[in-house]
């Protein structure tokens, strides 16, 4: 019998392994679980060099998996950008922009946010003029809470080549000043690409950003995550970090095929090269990303029924497919080809029509290629129609639950004003999807539409449909609340399945990586608010202690 290198004993272990659901101790060798069982059994595996960790009755469970977070974006926001929080007023945002501009040499970009859509009335019909009053010597680019829209001053528009005569890219939105017809500074979706290209990061900044988010994620109990939108910059950053030993997370990166950040689809041959060149021990690259629609505040999310007329939407001209970023026939062909090439496809889809079209494309791929075994994902899955609830299970598709909008939050009033209370009440039908047999995974979508990447407030919200932040009272669709027993697999083994690593992580079983977290008490003994306020005592990844409160 092999001896363990480390043993964690005298704990209360929730394994996530149906064949052996509870244990007291874990034995680890070469980063993997050598055995899981009682303290007496596991201590028999100790040798003279074995390190013993007495858990003192603390709770142990599998490490968490974050299936959708723009980790580098989030880290860069925290390290380098203006960030005023989701509760800031327009005056507070403008004051922060002014302060940053005054601290930078002329020509340097002022970037950050976020701005809320309920600020639009204060911004006036020509919002760029507000930013021009702050500076005409600095390009100013401010993202909204969803990250799908930007607000620019005149210099940023000029440097991005956005003029009165510029054509609007397909799938993009360019608002105009009614008086002059010139762009008013508000751009959405693919129309943002040229000004976003002005924002660059050095290799040193990106390396620092990796260290920042890895420490942050490990501290919250994450042992694996998925980057949902990777170009070569992101891939090379993760690859180099893994080579340096800085990437203490199992990582999967969805290589972009189509995105609002680029007007042209990335060629399949380029995707194949990126997949091949940047694959490493802890970076998995057999994943692809498509965008099917945008977001409700920009009127770019694709819904079967129109937005409310009171929101200013032209109800008479409503066409559900008009806001799709890929025509249905192109989408089906693309998903089928990516499936044939062995890519797991994640599709951004907010509106119920976009979700339906994504499921249609998966169905077309199944017909074209047969059962590939690839579980393609509908990202966000905000609004699912009754008719489509059962299709996830039928097609072997994953309903990814993100962002953290299954409880009242700063975006809820905006969504309600655009879509109506009845429709918003059906946002994130978690219980209905589970009842229909769908497999769910968790993602925060940080920093887009989520102020943080904290999974514990997300878990608490699944249990209560309430926001642990008392600034946002109320309950959103209480009948969609689920139990802790139903929720935990969404954060663990289901997440591992999205990385195609369910045989390697996601539960505590001999032979799997030793990926686990230590908490003071079992989650089942805690109230939802206590779960939301959780502090992870220790995080172990591949047998390494990567976070400790002590």
DSSP state of 513: B
CATH of the domain at 185: 3.10.310.70
| Residue 114, in any domain of the structure | yes
The verdict on 305 and 425 lying in the same domain is: yes
User: CA–CA separation, 529 vs 545, rounded Å?
Assistant: 27
The verdict on 177 and 255 lying in the same domain is: no
Q: How far is CA 338 from CA 51, 235, 333, in A?
A: 46, 19, 9
The verdict on 127 and 48 lying in the same domain is: no
Which among 541, 546, 549, 521 is positioned nearest to 63, based on CA atoms? 541
**Which band of pLDDT confidence, cut at 50, 70 and 90, is reported for residue 118?**
confident
The verdict on 157 and 227 lying in the same domain is: no
The verdict on 337 and 460 lying in the same domain is: yes
Exposed, middle or buried, 291 (CB in 10 Å: 0-12/13-18/19+)? buried
The verdict on 493 and 527 lying in the same domain is: no
Mean pLDDT of all residues in 291-314: 94
Q: Is the pLDDT of residue 219 over 80?
A: yes
What confidence tens digit (pLDDT) does each residue in 151-182 have? 999 999 999 999 999 999 888 899 999 989 99
| Residue 93, in any domain of the structure | yes
Which among 14, 9, 13 is positioned nearest to 56, based on CA atoms? 9
pLDDT at 404: 82
CATH of the domain at 515: 2.30.40.10
pLDDT at 146: 87
**Which band of pLDDT confidence, cut at 50, 70 and 90, is reported for residue 65?**
very high
The verdict on 36 and 122 lying in the same domain is: no
pLDDT at 536: 98
- Could you tell me the pTM of the whole model? 0.94
pLDDT at 170: 84
**Which band of pLDDT confidence, cut at 50, 70 and 90, is reported for residue 403?**
confident
By DSSP bridging, strand 32-37 and strand 51-54 are unpaired
Q: Is the pLDDT of residue 43 over 80?
A: yes
Could you tell me the maximum CA-CA distance found in the chain, to the nearest angstrom?
Answer: 81
% of the chain exceeding 90 in pLDDT: 91
**Which band of pLDDT confidence, cut at 50, 70 and 90, is reported for residue 264?**
confident
The verdict on 210 and 267 lying in the same domain is: yes
Mean pLDDT of all residues in 8-35: 98
pLDDT at 262: 75
Q: Is the pLDDT of residue 410 over 90?
A: no
Q: Is the pLDDT of residue 213 over 80?
A: yes
**Which band of pLDDT confidence, cut at 50, 70 and 90, is reported for residue 214?**
very high
Which residue has tokens 């019998």? 1
Exposed, middle or buried, 284 (CB in 10 Å: 0-12/13-18/19+)? buried
| Residue 75, in any domain of the structure | no
Mean pLDDT of all residues in 428-435: 98
Mean pLDDT of all residues in 228-252: 98
Question: Given 196, 211, 244, which residue is the final one in a domain?
Answer: 196
pLDDT at 405: 78
What confidence tens digit (pLDDT) does each residue in 317-332 have? 999 999 999 999 999 9
Residue 185: half-sphere exposure toward Cβ, Cα within 13 Å:
23
The verdict on 220 and 276 lying in the same domain is: yes
The verdict on 332 and 441 lying in the same domain is: yes
By DSSP bridging, strand 183-189 and strand 149-152 are antiparallel
User: CA–CA separation, 376 vs 366, rounded Å?
Assistant: 11
Question: Given 179, 196, 213, which residue is the final one in a domain?
Answer: 196
% of the chain exceeding 70 in pLDDT: 100
By DSSP bridging, strand 25-29 and strand 377-380 are unpaired
| Residue 81, in any domain of the structure | no
Which among 100, 118, 120 is positioned nearest to 108, based on CA atoms? 100
CATH of the domain at 223: 3.20.20.140
User: CA–CA separation, 352 vs 383, rounded Å?
Assistant: 5
Q: Is the pLDDT of residue 335 over 90?
A: yes
Which among 220, 258, 217, 259 is positioned nearest to 238, based on CA atoms? 217
Q: Give residue 423's domain range.
A: 203-498
Return all residues near 342 (Cβ < 8 A) that are at least 6 apart. Answer: 286, 372, 374
The verdict on 397 and 447 lying in the same domain is: yes
pLDDT at 86: 87
Mean pLDDT for the chain overall:
96
Mean pLDDT of all residues in 98-127: 94
**Number of domains forming the structure of the chain:** 3
- Tell me how far the alpha carbon of residue 506 is from its chain's centroid: 18
What confidence tens digit (pLDDT) does each residue in 492-517 have? 999 999 999 999 999 999 999 999 99
Structure tokens at 543: 């047998």
Question: Given 159, 178, 196, which residue is the final one in a domain?
Answer: 196
The verdict on 187 and 271 lying in the same domain is: no
What confidence tens digit (pLDDT) does each residue in 353-401 have? 999 999 999 999 999 999 999 999 999 999 999 999 999 999 999 999 9
Structure tokens at 120: 């639009």
Q: Is the pLDDT of residue 245 over 80?
A: yes
User: CA–CA separation, 535 vs 455, rounded Å?
Assistant: 11
pLDDT at 28: 98
Determine the angle formed by the axes of helices 232-244 and 203-219, rounding to 10 degrees.
70
Q: Is the pLDDT of residue 93 over 80?
A: yes
């Amino acid at each position: 019998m092999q001896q363990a290198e480390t043993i964690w004993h005298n704990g209360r272990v929730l394994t996530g392994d149906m064949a052996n659901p509870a244990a007291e101790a874990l034995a680890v060798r070469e980063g993997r679980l050598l055995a899981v069982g009682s303290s007496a059994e596991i201590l028999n595996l100790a040798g003279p060099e074995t390190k013993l960790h007495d858990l003192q009755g603390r709770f142990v469970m599998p490490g968490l998996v974050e299936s959708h977070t723009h980790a580098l974006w989030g880290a860069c926001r925290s390290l380098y950008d203006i960030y005023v929080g989701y509760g800031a007023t327009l005056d507070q945002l403008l004051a922060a922009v002014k302060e940053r501009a005054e601290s930078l040499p002329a020509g340097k970009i002022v970037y950050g946010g976020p701005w809320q859509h309920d600020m639009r009335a204060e911004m006036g019909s020509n919002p760029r003029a507000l930013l021009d009053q702050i500076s005409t010597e600095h390009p100013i680019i401010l993202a909204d809470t969803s990250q799908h829209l930007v607000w620019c001053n005149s210099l940023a528009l000029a440097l991005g080549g956005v003029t009165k005569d510029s054509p609007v890219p397909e799938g993009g939105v360019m608002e105009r000043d009614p008086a002059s017809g010139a762009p008013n500074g508000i751009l959405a979706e693919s129309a943002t690409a040229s000004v976003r290209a002005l924002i660059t990061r050095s290799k040193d900044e990106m390396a620092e950003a990796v260290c920042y988010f890895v420490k942050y994620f490990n501290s919250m109990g994450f042992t694996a995550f998925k980057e949902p939108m990777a170009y070569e910059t992101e891939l090379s950053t993760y690859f180099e970090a893994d080579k340096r030993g800085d990437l203490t997370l199992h990582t999967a990166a969805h290589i972009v095929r189509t995105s609002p950040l680029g007007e042209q689809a990335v060629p399949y041959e380029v995707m194949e090269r990126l997949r091949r060149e940047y694959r490493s021990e802890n970076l998995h690259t057999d994943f692809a990303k498509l965008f099917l629609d945008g977001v409700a505040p920009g009127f770019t999310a694709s819904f079967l029924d129109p937005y409310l007329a009171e929101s200013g939407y032209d109800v008479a001209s409503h066409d559900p497919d008009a806001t799709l970023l890929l025509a249905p026939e192109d989408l089906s062909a693309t998903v089928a080809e990516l499936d044939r090439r062995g890519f797991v496809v994640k599709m951004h889809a907010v509106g119920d029509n976009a979700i339906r079209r994504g499921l249609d494309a998966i169905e077309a791929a199944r017909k074209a290629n047969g059962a590939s075994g690839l579980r393609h994902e509908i990202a966000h899955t905000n609004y699912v129609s009754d008719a489509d609830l059962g299709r996830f299970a039928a097609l072997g598709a994953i309903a990814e639950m993100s962002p953290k909008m299954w409880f009242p939050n700063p975006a809820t009033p905006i969504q309600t004003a655009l879509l109506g209370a009845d429709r918003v009440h059906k946002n994130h039908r978690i219980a209905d999807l589970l009842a229909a047999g769908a497999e769910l995974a968790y993602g925060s979508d940080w920093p887009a539409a989520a102020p943080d990447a904290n999974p514990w407030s997300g878990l608490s919200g699944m249990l209560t449909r309430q926001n642990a932040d008392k600034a946002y009272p109320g309950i959103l669709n209480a009948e969609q609340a689920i139990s802790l027993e139903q929720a935990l697999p969404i954060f663990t083994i289901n997440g591992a399945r999205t990385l195609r690593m369910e045989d390697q992580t996601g539960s505590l079983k001999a032979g799997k990586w030793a990926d686990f977290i230590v908490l003071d008490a079992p989650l089942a003994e805690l109230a939802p608010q206590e779960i939301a306020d959780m502090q992870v005592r220790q995080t172990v990844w591949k047998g390494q202690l990567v976070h400790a409160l002590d």
